[in-house]
Structure 1
Amino acid sequence: MSSSLPACSIPLFDTVASYRQWRRNAYDEKKSVGFVPTMGALHEGHLSLVRRSLAENDLTVLSIFVNPAQFAPHEDLATYPRTLPRDLALLEQLSVSVSGGTRTPSAVFVPTVHEMYPSGISQNTEEQKGTFVEVKGYGHQMEGRTRPTFFRGVATVVTKLFNAIEPTRAYFGQKDIQQALLLRRMTRDLLLSHPEPQDLIIVPTTRDPVTSLALSSRNAYLTAHERESVAPALYSALQAARVAWEGNASKAECIRRAEAIIEDKKREVNGSVDLRLDYIEMNDPDSFEVVSDAMSRQQWEGHVAGRPVILSGAMWVGKTRLIDNIILGAAHTLGIVE
């Protein structure tokens, strides 16, 4: 462990070489390894992924790495919350009871930027040198419309992390549904063995028990008023669209009802909070293509029996961009299981 890292009862590794020695021992002992990749600033959503991994694997590894490649030059790389000592303290308190004993986190991978990008890294894609991963045709819709270089950065860093960690299973949250489904496709397309596509597990979104706001590290940017009274409007809007969809309204009508919720909230705050809707949309979970405006639930189910729809949205509350989604239909067909 590097002397620059905080003291921690969990083994910490800041180089691939040191981690790989630990991983070889796990191989020799024929132990399964669950993996939870994070950018730190841990919250209950992250911890739910860790608990799931602890319950399903002999060993559980987390990574904490703020990835420069997924931030555009104008985005919040410099100000993204970095709370490593607090993160490690939370992990030290975490345990899950299983048959035969108790499991706790086994290791934390905390690499430097140079370790992850030995050729160097710039937030400007035009200046980047080295090897990058792109899942073509699936990264320009939904979140990719607003953040066109985001998924290239995510696919690159997760490929690196999978190569370093060699997990039996990896765990991602439904809040970032496009990311999780895109990464599962990537594991299939690149013929990865650690993890295999079916072992990329998507865990339902963890929400605030009072407001139902999807938990996110960026929620730390919100004021108490924004977090409790304004930000929950996004989920309320998605719920309004879901009710309309279940009532067999057209997709266009579903979106209209959702947008009306945001407009009502904007009138309510009356300029005291800068509230801006980025998008609310419905997409095919396989292609990410937009569902046609005229499509209704009955028509969709007749068109692609058994396939759900992703209803997602993003909005700005002050300087904070929030995302959320609801699966319309059988979420388990996407591998999302409580």
Structure 2
Amino acid sequence: MSRKDGMFNCQHISDEGVAGQWEKKYLQLTESNLIVKENADDNIVRSTIHLCDIVYVERDSKPKEISLDKPNTIEKLDDSTNTGQVTVEMADSQETILIHIKARYKSEWKIEMESEDIYQEWYQIFKRKQGIMREIDINPPPPKRYSKPKYTFRTFYDNRKLLGERWMILAFIAYTAILVVLFSILWTKYVLPEKNIVEIESQCFIQSANSVYVYKRNYDLEILVTYKLESGESLTNLMYQYCSGNGCPSFMEDNYKVGTTVTCHYDEADPSYVFFDLSQMVRKRYTITFGVCGGLLGPWLIFVLVMGFLSRKKIAQMFKDSCCPDDED
């Protein structure tokens, strides 16, 4: 006899192992679920057990209770010990057939079957759809301890975007990039070519000399000189010699007098570039490069120091969570 729905006597055992009372429930068995209601007219589903979550199906039994509403046939009277005590066995006291199922989440149900045929039908359906017990179901991992949410660079960026402050990040990145590019260009194209000059010594005859004021005791000395190359060729070029300090421009008048011959140097790669003291020329380019970049670096450095001091804890957490992630998470 096929029966997949109706009122069944059931016992529910919670995932903590607490067994409930035996009570009548309306059960409906489908090809995918076991639905539990209070009765056939109940519109509320009290529980839905997915058959794929059932990992244990076995036969069980319990002694059938003696009903006082109907006569019970006396099977046997035994007073073999002559003690006056009689053992009574009832003809309908056989055991009740139960089907015992366990779900993946450790909840259990015991359902009373009215007949062997109904038991076999339910058993076959449960077995056919039965799930596989995983290791995590058998030995669930301990609950993870609470950990604070990570504060990464991405979190910082998302917060700024949420508050409408993304432009500040973009402006800071752009300003930093401009500063780096500007310094790189000045250093590689302006300072290094002068610093890496290969000097060739020669003797310069001074034809004329003049000083041009630049700023704050800094002068450019314009000196017309004639000198010989290693090849013996004579060149006449205007030398631009940088001079700074209290000794300028009187230094030129004392050391670079018109009509005298003074030791000088010219560039091996460009013989037309002649000078008396290369260190003064290099220092001038250092001054210009670090003056320009230092002026731009000042506001950037002030901003970084102020923000770093005010948000030092958040910044430390951001670097820690971004660069040193916890392997256990």
More helix as a share of residues:
1
Between Structure 1 and Structure 2, the one with more strand by share is: 2
Q: Which has the higher contact order (CA 8 A, sep 6+)?
A: 1
TM-score (norm 2): 0.17
TM-score by length of 1: 0.16
Bigger radius of gyration among the two: 2
